[in-house]
């Protein structure tokens, strides 16, 4: 099948305005990476391999084709600040538009249950223009984030799934670790995020848990405990947050669904860049989890904060023991 771009037109090679724009954009670099991925249905093993890569100076009207994945990408517009990218495929319902800011990136993973092709985008210039250098460096290091959408649980549900608050499902040997000031913040079933983490920053099996030591509450200077468990938890702890010093309202499960997002996406998410002023602070460790109180209607935890709470990695993206908790009230 021959793909037809919807609204794109080839650039006019000899028009003076086109030539002027090409000279102005000479330092702009856009990169698209195609990866093939699949899951072995018997073993659950996930494999990823790079199948193609394109690096080019973006100009409106360009068409970049990837025959293996049967996708073509059209540059709708491009300047030093952002590129508008449209993906076209055989299925017209799957057409999408991406706005990629300079110094950042994006991620496109067509819906599939057990394999297919996915695409990563990066956009930058050789000369930083109109943007803090620290923020640009952090953008280049973070190609994507993983969006977190939450919904309050209603009725029976799978207690081992990813969620905030409520009743954690943990290994039985952990039960004696907890005391009254510990707050259960979240559990992430890592197999849920595998398709949205193409760089394998996080493990893709087991669980990642977030707990807060609220002894210093209502101060924002709380200690965070991040624990990775490479196995299947077997014990549900009901009413875990019942005795915490925080106001009531964090005893109900808020179930999580995940999605692909650019690194600077707002809202609750994993990885990427912190939203707000913290996103321009290159001295901060990298972001592990961002909590947006606006996503949790009726939950008193940080409900008066016009900002975010962050859990930051320790020394590197493998250091959960050194994780840091930070609240941005601006």
Confidence of residue 188 (pLDDT cuts 50, 70, 90): very high
Concatenating the DSSP letter of every residue in 209-244 gives: EEEEEGGGTTSS--EEEEEEE-S---EE-TTTTTTS
For residue 176, the SS3 value is helix
Closest CA to 136 of 122, 149, 150: 122
Is pLDDT above 60 for 20? Answer: no
Mean pLDDT value across residues 118-133: 64
How far apart CA 196 and CA 176 sit, in angstroms, is: 34
**Better-predicted residue by pLDDT, 283 or 194:** 194
CA 201 to the chain's CA centroid: 11
Mean pLDDT value across residues 188-195: 94
Q: What number of residues does the chain have?
A: 330
Mean pLDDT value across residues 287-310: 90
Confidence of residue 110 (pLDDT cuts 50, 70, 90): confident
For residue 24, the SS3 value is helix
Is pLDDT above 70 for 152? Answer: yes
What is the pLDDT at residue 90? 63
How far apart CA 204 and CA 185 sit, in angstroms, is: 20
Pairing of strands 324-328, 308-312: antiparallel
Query: By the 8 A CB rule, do 153 and 255 touch?
Result: yes
Mean pLDDT value across residues 283-304: 90
Mean pLDDT value across residues 212-236: 87
Domains of the chain, earliest start first: 16-131 (no CATH), 147-328 (2.30.320.10)
- Confidence (pTM): 0.65
Is pLDDT above 80 for 307? Answer: yes
Mean pLDDT value across residues 68-73: 87
Tokens of 139: 């953008």
Closest CA to 107 of 123, 93, 91: 123
């Amino acid at each position: 099948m021959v793909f037809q771009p919807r609204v794109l037109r080839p650039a006019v090679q000899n028009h003076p305005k086109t030539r002027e724009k090409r000279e102005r954009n000479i330092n702009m670099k856009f990169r698209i990476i195609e990866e093939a991925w699949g899951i072995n249905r018997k073993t659950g093993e996930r494999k990823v391999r790079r199948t193609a890569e394109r690096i080019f100076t973006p100009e409106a009207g360009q068409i970049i084709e990837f025959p293996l994945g049967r996708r073509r990408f059209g540059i709708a517009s491009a300047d030093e600040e952002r590129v508008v990218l449209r993906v076209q495929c055989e299925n017209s319902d799957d057409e999408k538009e991406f706005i990629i800011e300079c110094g950042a990136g994006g991620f496109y993973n067509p819906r599939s249950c057990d394999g297919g092709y996915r695409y990563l985008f990066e956009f930058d210039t050789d000369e930083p223009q109109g943007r803090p250098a620290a923020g640009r460096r952090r953008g280049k290091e973070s190609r994507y984030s993983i969006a977190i959408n939450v919904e309050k649980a209603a009725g029976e549900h799978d207690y081992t799934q990813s969620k905030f608050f409520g009743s954690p499902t943990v290994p039985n040997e952990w039960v004696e670790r907890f005391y009254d000031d510990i707050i259960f913040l979240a559990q992430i079933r890592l197999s849920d995020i595998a398709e949205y983490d193409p760089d394998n920053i996080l493990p893709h099996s087991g669980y990642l848990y977030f707990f807060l030591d609220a002894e210093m509450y209502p101060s924002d200077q709380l200690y965070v405990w991040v624990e990775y468990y490479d196995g299947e938890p077997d014990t549900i702890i009901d009413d875990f947050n019942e005795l915490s010093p925080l106001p009531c309202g964090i005893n109900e499960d808020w179930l999580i669904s995940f999605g692909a997002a650019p690194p600077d996406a707002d809202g609750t998410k994993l990885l990427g860049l912190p939203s707000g002023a913290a996103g321009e602070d290159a001295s901060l460790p990298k972001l592990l989890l961002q909590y947006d109180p606006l996503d949790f209607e009726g939950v008193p935890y940080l409900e008066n904060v016009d900002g975010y709470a962050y859990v930051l990695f320790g020394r590197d993206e493998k250091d959960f023991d050194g994780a840091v908790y930070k609240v941005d009230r601006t």
